[in-house]
Amino acid sequence: MNFRQVDIMKVNVTDKDVIVFAIKRVDTNNSYEFERELLQTIEKNQDKRLILDCSEMNYISSAGLRVLLKIKKNQGQMVLENVSKDVYEVLSVTGFTQIMTVKRKLSEISIDNAELLGAGANGRVYRLDQERIVKVFNSTSNPPEKISREQESARQAFIHGIPSAIPFEIVRVGDELGMIYELITARTLGSMVHSDPKKLEKYAIEMSALMKKLHSTKMDEGTMPDARLALRLWADIASKSDFYSRDDMQRIYELIDSVPVRETFIHGDFHPGNIMVSEGELILIDMGDASVGHPVIDLLGTYQLMSLAPKKNAGAAMRYLGMTAEESVRMWDVFIRDYLGTEDENIITKTEESLKSLSLIRTLGGIVFSDVIPDDKRRFYSAMAMKDILDNIEKTDYIINAL
């Protein structure tokens, strides 16, 4: 990076971008210099994307807007960032937000006195007021693009009629980023089942209805990532370790590629800890892993979390799902029968065998960095997981073709 003063505006050049820090006020008095400096900067950095950082700008007149228009025509890739509320309003009423990329300045909020409502692998959730919560993301595993993706997926889910919380704006919470959502006054499905196990069957069937609703929702191409990407990321983590042979990993990638493309909405983390029960209605939260693809990709995760993992590690179900391992396995059993619309033991057994290889891809990666597995056991567990996958790999087609 190098900062230098070009007349009135500061410029910062990085590998890909040239960032110009816009002045406080652009009007007829300085629009000429504003234009000249922007043009000079573009001239010197022709291969870079132009970012106009508007953190300091609180006013722009029509003369300033005309400059933006000219620059935009000249330089297709201009992006306006950190735009204040007032400037955004001008850009919006004039239609500029539709012809150029305009990103707002994030509001800052405080959670000092806010009640903690829940937590997951990605963040903590606090109540802001009667209507809204803020999900504060752990910054290490949640770069800004991932948070924007969660916001877009939550919006897509909502407008496609999937019962879910309205996503509002992305905000700054101290050094971290957060996203404001509608508050769902409810408890998670896992904790509801745990406190009233008589309702387990009823809830399992409702959970299946929710997944069926999801899987009958078609998305437009390109609106969300390809569902196989999440599996490839786990495989990439596994590949980087020295626990698995190159040939075995090759077979894993082929297995992932064998899952056909579909335009179905995939939640990607569908389990009773990510479903809330609000006045009897099931509401899906946590769209951080939502994508588009074949329904088997949702099913394999649900099977892994509700059945495979709790059978191996009883504590995990309570931690992630808010229910005991026994409740979780029983709930999966009722759920999968309803989802497939069959009571035929043979079909259920074949389905579970068929889900196994795909389900264990996450485990391959998980073993590499899990902090619960002692180092001297890692190699043993990884070999077991890989064997389990390879022994069952030929059975995967059954469920893919059935869905």
Ligand X SMILES: Nc1ncnc2c1ncn2[C@@H]1O[C@H](COP(=O)(O)OP(=O)(O)O)[C@@H](O)[C@H]1O
What does the binding site for ligand X look like in residue numbers (CB under 6 A)? 117-123, 125, 133, 135, 165, 181-184, 188, 273-274, 285-286, 288
> In the bound complex, what is the minimum distance in angstroms from residue 285's beta carbon to ligand X?
4
Partner whose binding site includes residue 259, from Mg ion, ligand X, none (CB under 5 to 8 Å by kind): none
Q: Give residue 308's identity as a one-letter amino acid code.
A: L
205 near 338, Cβ under 8 Å? Answer: yes
Q: Which of 270, 268, 127 is nearest to 186 (CA)?
A: 127
CB atoms within 10 A of CB 205: 15
293 near 275, Cβ under 8 Å? Answer: no
> In the bound complex, what is the minimum distance in angstroms from residue 75's beta carbon to ligand X?
38
Partner whose binding site includes residue 272, from Mg ion, ligand X, none (CB under 5 to 8 Å by kind): none
Partner whose binding site includes residue 219, from Mg ion, ligand X, none (CB under 5 to 8 Å by kind): none
> In the bound complex, what is the minimum distance in angstroms from residue 357's beta carbon to ligand X?
25
> In the bound complex, what is the minimum distance in angstroms from residue 359's beta carbon to ligand X?
19
Cα four-point dihedral sign 63, 64, 70, 73 = negative
For Mg ion, the closer of residues 71 and 125 by Cβ is 125
Binding site for Mg ion (CB under 5 A): 120, 274, 286
Q: Is 55 left (phi over 0), alpha (psi -120 to 50) or beta?
A: alpha
165 near 153, Cβ under 8 Å? Answer: no
176 near 137, Cβ under 8 Å? Answer: yes
> In the bound complex, what is the minimum distance in angstroms from residue 274's beta carbon to Mg ion?
4
CB atoms within 10 A of CB 161: 9
For ligand X, the closer of residues 151 and 274 by Cβ is 274
- Between CA 136 and CA 217 the distance in angstroms is 29
> In the bound complex, what is the minimum distance in angstroms from residue 275's beta carbon to Mg ion?
10
Q: Which of 348, 352, 329, 324 is nearest to 338 (CA)?
A: 348
327 near 193, Cβ under 8 Å? Answer: yes
For Mg ion, the closer of residues 328 and 351 by Cβ is 328
For Mg ion, the closer of residues 120 and 197 by Cβ is 120
Partner whose binding site includes residue 162, from Mg ion, ligand X, none (CB under 5 to 8 Å by kind): none
For Mg ion, the closer of residues 64 and 288 by Cβ is 288
> In the bound complex, what is the minimum distance in angstroms from residue 132's beta carbon to ligand X?
8
**Nearest position to ligand X, beta carbon:** 120
Q: Which of 337, 331, 372 is nearest to 352 (CA)?
A: 337
Residue 337 phi, psi dihedral angles, 5° rounding: -60, -45
Partner whose binding site includes residue 106, from ligand X, Mg ion, none (CB under 5 to 8 Å by kind): none
Partner whose binding site includes residue 118, from Mg ion, ligand X, none (CB under 5 to 8 Å by kind): ligand X
For ligand X, the closer of residues 183 and 259 by Cβ is 183
For ligand X, the closer of residues 267 and 356 by Cβ is 267
- Between CA 79 and CA 95 the distance in angstroms is 15
CA 273 to chain centre: 16
For ligand X, the closer of residues 187 and 251 by Cβ is 187
> In the bound complex, what is the minimum distance in angstroms from residue 30's beta carbon to Mg ion?
49
Partner whose binding site includes residue 261, from Mg ion, ligand X, none (CB under 5 to 8 Å by kind): none
Question: Residues, the chain, total?
Answer: 403
